[in-house]
Structure formats: structure tokens, C-alpha cells
Structure 1
Amino acid sequence: MGCACKDKRQKYEVVGTTGKVLFRSGSKATAQAVSRRYPGSTVEEKDKETVTADGSQ
């Protein structure tokens, strides 16, 4: 069973030049390190999504 804090943590995505998400991480430093491997990529904060018990957002 997962931790209850998983939806409350800040998440970061490495996004390529085409808009495709290349990598996701809970650590900004890790996301920045990975983005250096992909020229032109950016690190963006991922929006927090809330999902109800029935699966809808």
C-alpha cells in the first residue's frame, strides 16, 4: 500500500522540444540533471491532479 502523501508531493517533468514528456521525478535536481541529456528540453512542474473514488478527475 502506498503512502498517503503521494498526491501532495511536487512533481517535475522533463519535456522535449516536441512536447513529449521524457521523464518524471519528484526531485527537481534529478529532473534538471536528466534534462541536460536532451538538448532543448525543459523542466516543468506537473499540475497536481485529484482523482475521486470513482476514478473521475
Structure 2
Amino acid sequence: MKKTLLITTWVIVLGALLVWSAYAARWQMSSRGMGFAQRSNSGAVNQSLYASKIT
């Protein structure tokens, strides 16, 4: 039971992170045009997401 709760919480947190990074990237590109910095940042986020999926 505890493990299910932990997994559910983890999935929610990862989902929120992904959505937030997507919105942040879109907002920064449209407002400042700092696409490169944000893209490399979301790339790092995606990498950690894939790493957490594997483990």
C-alpha cells in the first residue's frame, strides 16, 4: 500500500515537472527569445525523467 502511494506521488510530481518545464520553455521563447538556454534546461529535465523511468 505504501509503495503504491509512493509511486503515485512520484508520477504526479514528474508529470507536474514536465508540464511546468514545457510551459516555462514556451513562455520564455515567446517573451525573451532565450530559447537556447531553456532548451538545454528542459533537455536536462527530460534526461532525468528517462533516468528515473529506467530505474
Q: TM-score, normalised by structure 1?
A: 0.30
Q: TM-score, normalised by structure 2?
A: 0.30
Structure with more strand by fraction: 1
Structure with more helix by fraction: 2
